[in-house]
Amino acid sequence: MTGFLLIDKPHGPTSHDIVDAVRRALGVKRVGHAGTLDPPATGLLVVAVGPATRLLRYVQPLPKTYEVTCALGVTTTTLDATGDVVEHRPVGVTPGEVRAAAASFVGEIEQVPPAVSAVKVAGERAYKRARRGEDVAIEPRKVTVHSFDILRTSSDAFDARIVCSSGTYVRSLVADLGARLGCGAHVVTLRRTAVGHLSVADAVEPERVAVGDVAPVEEVLEHMPRLEVDDATAKRLRDGQRVPTEAGAGEYVVVGPAGAVGVFVSCEGALRAETVLGN
């Protein structure tokens, strides 16, 4: 069994919990996921099954789409509703000011991940240090916010849809927006609705996972260029042979009559294996 599952993660379990649930449901040991969702977050988690786990690196960089509800005037230790309240501040901002602040974050920005996060600091997860009461200094990183659309505002809250690069922390983005407004803000609810072209509308609940839900590799990797080959060529590629090609330089998902063969690079008139799925 090899392919991908689109899982609609509920509130509560970790992403690793979802992987364990898939292992039990399908009776497969080799399972992994792309793009961790924190326990309070819900929505699309892309899970790979079998040899497809070697292809997660082609899914991980895809942009992520989130729908988020945020509270204004309150900051917390975790930058979301699970943390302790740090400060209350008066909120005196207009809807136009909220939209303008959100727009100012669109583009490439430097962002500091939350102290309560899975980022490693000196070889240890930041959240473990934070839970021991240690000061956690995390280096800023460059991320890209493709869009930050305010969908609704009220006197002390707003809803937004955010499209951002892999590695972006929405909690930090919202906290930075609150700081720019001068009143503070934190995430109340967070839902991932898409990973690239993959939509949570096509996802299955983890407790309902079945073998028939495993999507072929070529469907999930449709954002990559594709090369169709016959069965004989597919066998040669699986056997590690270099096969002549007229395809332009770059990475391709190679698909034979029985499905995806793997990801190959076209270079100097031949296909060279990057990741082969086997028979």
Q: pLDDT tens digits, residue range 3-35?
A: 999 999 999 999 999 999 999 999 999 999 998
Q: Is 231 one of the annotated active-site residues of the chain?
A: no
pTM: 0.91
Give the position of tokens 């991932």.
192
The predicted pLDDT at position 117 comes to 54
User: In Å, what is the CA distance from 209 to each residue of 18, 41, 192, 263?
Assistant: 11, 20, 19, 27
The predicted pLDDT at position 134 comes to 55
Query: pLDDT at residue 137 above 70?
Result: no
The predicted pLDDT at position 199 comes to 98
Instruction: DSSP for 177-217, please give it.
Output: HHHHHTS-EEEEEEEEEEETTEEGGG-B-GGG--GGG-B-H
Identified catalytic residue from 8, 17, 38, 202: 38
The predicted pLDDT at position 136 comes to 63
State the virtual CA torsion across 178, 180, 183, 185 in degrees, nearest 10: 0
| Whole-number percent of the chain with pLDDT over 70 | 91
Query: pLDDT at residue 243 above 80?
Result: yes
Closest C-alpha to 214, from 226, 201, 204: 204
Highest mean pLDDT among 63-67, 134-138, 165-169: 63-67
Residue 56 CA to residue 17 CA, distance in Å, equals 18
